[in-house]
Amino acid sequence: MTRERKRLAAWLLAGVLLAAALVLYRADRTGVSDPAAGPTAGPTAGAPAPGTPPATTDTPAPSPSGSPATSGPPPSGPAATAPGTCTSPGACGYPDASTTGPRIPLEKHDLGNMSVKKDGTVIKGWDIRGSLDVYANDVTVIDSRITSTNWWGINLRPGYSGLKVLHTTITAVPGKGPDNGGVNYAVSNMGGSSIEVGWCDISVFGNALSMGQGDLHDNYVHDLVAFRNQGGEWQHTDAVISGGGNKGRLTVRHNTLLNGTPVDKGATAAVGLFADTGVVSSVVVADNWLAGGAYALYGGGPGANGIEVTGNVFSTQYHPASGAYGPVTAWNAGGPGNVWKDNHLSDGRPVLPPTTP
């Protein structure tokens, strides 16, 4: 009898040990110590649907990069896509003195104020003391330098088209211009046709690139010089200026446009779109480095339409807000075809336009 009891006790002990082993084995396979806490066949009441991110807690875990993770959904819009800090135009891939101007040795030409009247004229490799007044079609100025004391550096007259100004330095002699010692336009379009200006180094002129339509790309506009005009007032200064009423498109793309003139001496804008002669329409301002002026950008005002301002850097090199009073004004937020996207300050902060012109 005693032997039978000992045998039964041994079998009972073996059964208990086997049951314990099974429990531990299941816990190891499921990752939980309590089988009731394991996964269920479907979502329970109050649980998130499949694919829903888990809710964040008051004390988020560190992100993989080592910086603190944020609670809530990730940011969207310009703040999410804005690049990091840009220290200077050249360091951030924008035009400067090293990427603009002539690429070949120059021959001196003391022309004075020259009129170009032959279609298809090509001026290449000239170091010009004077200015060019263009009364012809399809004129090209390339790999040259113009130092003017006239109202303009290059002026396209009404009725003519096809002017290209490429890889050229256009500057002036401060204090020697006809407007009470000042000069006004590096490249001007008095007519209704488009001009291409590309890879040019432009300085001194009060309103450097003045046209209602054209293709302005890869230029370096800098060191505008303030002066009092013949009326005794400070001349308004703009790196790019357009007076509206244009019939074609104006594209301003991948330029460095600086207006470091003090506001009390006439600074207006890096890009000034003004309805002086008509409604501003069909303008692209994209991927530029903009700095200075009262506002870095004047957006066309009431009635402006088809204005696309995208991917620009509003630099703080002259003012904390890019312009003395802010980055942008006169933006017609409700205008048909007007687009504002991915614009930011040089420190990466997004730039949002005012909601009213």
DSSP result, 186-244: EEEE-SSS-EEEES-EEEE-SEEEE-SSEEEES-EEEEE---B-TTSSBPPEEEEEE-S
Integer Cα distance of 36 and 17 in angstroms: 22
State the Cα torsion 350-355-356-357 to the nearest 10°. Answer: 30
Integer Cα distance of 351 and 357 in angstroms: 16
Contact 269, 309 (CB under 8 A): no
Question: 190-242 pLDDT, tens per residue?
Answer: 867 899 999 999 999 999 999 999 999 999 999 999 999 999 999 999 999 99
Per-residue pLDDT tens digits of the chain, which is 357 residues long: 444 444 444 444 444 344 443 333 333 333 333 323 232 223 323 333 333 333 332 323 322 222 222 223 333 333 333 456 788 999 999 999 999 999 999 999 999 999 999 999 999 999 999 999 999 999 999 999 999 999 999 999 999 999 999 999 999 999 999 999 999 999 999 867 899 999 999 999 999 999 999 999 999 999 999 999 999 999 999 999 999 988 899 999 999 999 999 999 999 999 999 999 899 999 999 999 999 999 999 999 999 999 999 999 999 999 999 999 999 999 999 999 999 999 999 999 999 988 766
Integer Cα distance of 292 and 335 in angstroms: 26
Contact 154, 126 (CB under 8 A): no
251, β-bridge pairs: 215, 284
Integer Cα distance of 70 and 75 in angstroms: 10
Contact 314, 271 (CB under 8 A): no
Integer Cα distance of 341 and 339 in angstroms: 6
State the Cα torsion 123-129-135-141 to the nearest 10°. Answer: 30
Tell whether pTM > 0.75. Answer: yes
With CA atoms as reference, report the closest residue to 158 among 232, 212, 202: 212
Q: Which is it for strands 201-204 and 339-341: parallel, antiparallel or unpaired?
A: unpaired
State the Cα torsion 20-25-27-29 to the nearest 10°. Answer: -170
Count of other CB atoms within 10 angstroms of residue 75:
12
Through-space distance between the first and last CA atoms of the chain, rounded to whole angstroms: 105
State the Cα torsion 85-87-90-91 to the nearest 10°. Answer: -70
For residue 338 the two structure tokens come to 């007007």
182, β-bridge pairs: 179
For residue 165 the two structure tokens come to 């100004």
C-alpha pair distances (Å), 128 with each of 36, 247, 345: 89, 32, 38
| CA angle (12, 14, 19) in 5-degree steps | 95
SS3 at position 124: strand
Tokens 């013949």 sit on residue: 230
Chain mean pLDDT for the chain: 81
